[in-house]
Every structure is written in C-alpha cells, then in structure tokens.
Structure 1
Amino acid sequence: MNVHTQKSLIAGPVGNIEIAVDLPDAVREGTGGPRGIALVAHPHPLFGGTMDNKVAQTLARTLVQLNYIVYRSNFRGVGATDGVHDNGTGEADDLLAVLAHMRAQPGYADLPLVLAGFSFGTFVLSHVAKRLRDAGQAVERMVFVGTAASRWSVADVPENTLVIHGETDDTVPIQSVYDWARPQELPVVVIPGAEHFFHRKLHILKRIVVDAWR
C-alpha cells in the first residue's frame, strides 16, 4: 500500500492469516492518538480478490486519512493466509480472529471500530457485524462498497451504514442492492457511470467516505 504498511502473520482458526496495518501519520510519529480502529475486507478470492485490491486500498487509505488505524487481511488461500475458500463462513471466523488480535494491542481495546468491505467482503463483514452485535460488541460504523446482494445472503446492517454502489455495475446489479436496502430503509449512494471496480471513480469513492464523516 505504501512504504509504511506493516505486513505480518497472525494465528487464525486454520493456520496463519496475513495482515497489513497502516497507521495515521500522527500515530506513527507519536504526536497524537487515533480516532479508532478499522478493518477492511477484500473482494472474492476465487476471482482475484486480495487485500491489495484497489478499492480495498482506497478504503484503507481514506480511513487512515480520517485518523483510524487500519487493518486489512487476506482471506483463506490468498497470499500467505492458510486454508481454502470456505464460502464466507471460515472467512468470517478469520476476520473475528483479526479483530481479536486488533483489540489485544495496547490501547486498542476500547477504541471505536469501523468495518469496511468491498463486494464479497461486504457479505462476510455483514455476518461478522451480526455476531459482534449478538455478543454485545459495538461497531461505530460500516462502509459497504459494491455490496454483494445479488450473489450472497448479506445480513442486515446498522442504520448508519454507508452503502456505495456503481450505477453501471453488471457484476452486482444495482437493483439487487436496492432490494436488500429497501426493507432496512438504508440510503444507497450511487456513483454515476461507475462499474463494479470503480475504474477512474476511486477519487469519488474517497470523497463520499470523507464527506460522510464530516
């Protein structure tokens, strides 16, 4: 992601999980504390999705700019992460393991948490968030980009979730996102002319997230 990205391996349910951590400038330089911690989940691993996907990196960079300590991780079978693709179930277990690792870091236990995902990552994070809610653990906010509502059973999300979609997405048709969002009364922010991977639209995606935090 950048020269300051720290990559390492942590223990997960079926072996190693490869993670990447990015710190805000103030935290890295020791001149200030973070606003919170954030976890970013990447698109489908069987179709080339990794934690270095451009949309996932854009989400991470934006949250770092907003003063969050940001973690990304590779799903099973991607990069140095052990295991094989598990259709979202094992992937959710792994993200919960990453979250436990994050919370175990000195000073991180009580920091506000943001969950941000792209495509398949939104499906996995929706179920991670449900399990956190069922356990009485708070999530400050969620950011869903290219929500995979046409392909997976995406769980309901909190009312302050930021949902962003591309107008011309033919991987996840926007109508399926409307159908998922409508019963929850969730607004959907549409980027005109954007397809699933937001080519030439990443700057707009970043602006929408930053504006939502103002």
Structure 2
Amino acid sequence: MNAHTQQFFITGAAGALECALDLPDPDDGSPRGIALVAHPHPLYGGTMDNKVAQTLARAFVSIGYAAVRMNFRGVGGSTGLHDEGRGETDDMALLLAHMQQQLPGLPVALAGFSFGTFVQAQLQQRLIAQDTPAERLILVGAAAGKWAMPPVPEDTILIHGELDETIALTAVLDWLRPQDIVVRVVPGADHFFHRKLQHIKNAVVEAWHR
C-alpha cells in the first residue's frame, strides 16, 4: 500500500499465508486497535491489493488502527487452494490470533469486501460464540445472495453501491430486512466503487469519530 507496508507470512492449515501490515504514524502513539481486512473472491482476481481492501486499510490507519490484510489461499504468495470460505475463515482467525499476540489487549475490527464480507461475517459469528466478538464489523458490497451470509450485529457498518452489478442491492436488502439493519447506499457506485472510494473511507472515519 505504501513504503511503510510490512510484508510477513503466517502458516495456516494449507501452508504459507502472505500478509501485509500498515501501522499508524509512530508520532501519533501506539496503535489504538487492530483491523483485519478481507479481500474479494480469489477466483475472480481478488487480492489483498484490491482498491477497496486498500481503502479500508487506509481508513483504519487514519484513525490509529494497525490494519492487516492477507492473501487468501492460492493468491499471490499464499499457498493452498480456494476453500469456499471455510478454510479462509480459519486462516483469518489465525491471523487475528497472530495480531493479538503482537498487539495484545487492543479492540478488533473486522472489515471485508465482497467475498471478504462472507469470511468476516462468519468469523464474527465464531467470536460471538466464544464471547469475544470484534468491536465492529464493516461490510462493503456484502455477499448476500452469493453466499449464505449469517446474521450480523445491529451496529454493523454496511456500504453498498446503488448500481452494483455483481451483488444486487435488492439481495442485500432481502438479507437485512429480517434483521432490521440499515445499509448505506452510495448513489451511482458500481461493485468496485470506481471513483467512489472516498465514501468507504468517510463511513469508517465517521463511525469511529462519532
């Protein structure tokens, strides 16, 4: 993402997993939280360098969080094969444990884009079952209708493009309606938020500053 991005690897069940860590400016003090960012579908070109994933990471760094991304199995320097979200959720849980060892005691946010929303929503359900939920879930282009999205906490930040051609806004509304959860719709935005990325960053910054 920038010259200060630290690349590292952790070992998951399917082998090496390539990760990238961005830290806030040391002059601003120690990180105040940890944000895990999950990228879109690996079989359709999704990587941790995806522009939406990078935008989420930048947004969290701007509010003082350590932002960490990971290439899912079979992407970039990560070994293994795509596992339909099961192994990817296991791997994200491993990354969370790794980051909590490096930066103990900090609040955790889970953020994802497209397929990454499925992974992070599943991980949040695991954490809730363990009575250790992440403080907040941020889902951009939530994968409703594509994967079996679980319920999410009522304070989840949901951002969706009005003109999303990959995941229809109507599918997201159908998923959220029984949960009575609000989604922020970005007018004119497509699935990849072309020329609309600032709305994603603004939503994160506003939520934390509020």
Among 104, 107, 127, the residue aligned to 1:132: 127
Aligned residue in 1 for 2:4: 4
Unmatched tracts of structure 2, length 5 or more: none
CA distance in 1: counterparts of 2:95 and 2:24, whole angstroms: 19
CA distance in 2: counterparts of 1:213 and 1:100, whole angstroms: 23
**Residues 63-212 of structure 1 correspond to what in structure 2 (within 5 A)?**
63-105=60-102, 108-212=103-207
Deviation at 1:138, TM superposition (A): 2.5
- Give per-residue Cα distances to partners, 1:122-158, cap 9 Å, x unaligned: 0011111111111111211110000010200111111
Q: Calculate percent identity across the aligned residue pairs.
A: 56
CA distance in 1: counterparts of 2:111 and 2:41, whole angstroms: 15
**TM-score if structure 1 supplies the norm length?**
0.95
Range 88-97 or range 131-140, more displaced: 131-140
Determine helix, strand or coil for the equivalent of 1:158: coil
How many residue pairs get aligned? The number is: 209
Determine helix, strand or coil for the equivalent of 2:36: strand
RMSD over aligned CA atoms reads: 0.9
The answer (yes or no) to whether the contact 1:145–1:165 under 8 Å persists in 2 is: yes
Unmatched tracts of structure 1, length 5 or more: none
Deviation at 1:187, TM superposition (A): 0.4
Determine helix, strand or coil for the equivalent of 2:110: strand
**TM-score if structure 2 supplies the norm length?**
0.97
**Residues 46-57 of structure 1 correspond to what in structure 2 (within 5 A)?**
46-57=43-54
Which 4+ residue blocks in structure 1 deviate beyond 6 angstroms?
Answer: none
Aligned residue in 1 for 2:42: 45
Deviation at 1:170, TM superposition (A): 1.2
CA distance in 2: counterparts of 1:172 and 1:118, whole angstroms: 11
CA distance in 2: counterparts of 1:198 and 1:165, whole angstroms: 9
Deviation at 1:13, TM superposition (A): 1.4
- Give per-residue Cα distances to partners, 1:1-27, cap 9 Å, x unaligned: 00000001111111111000000003x
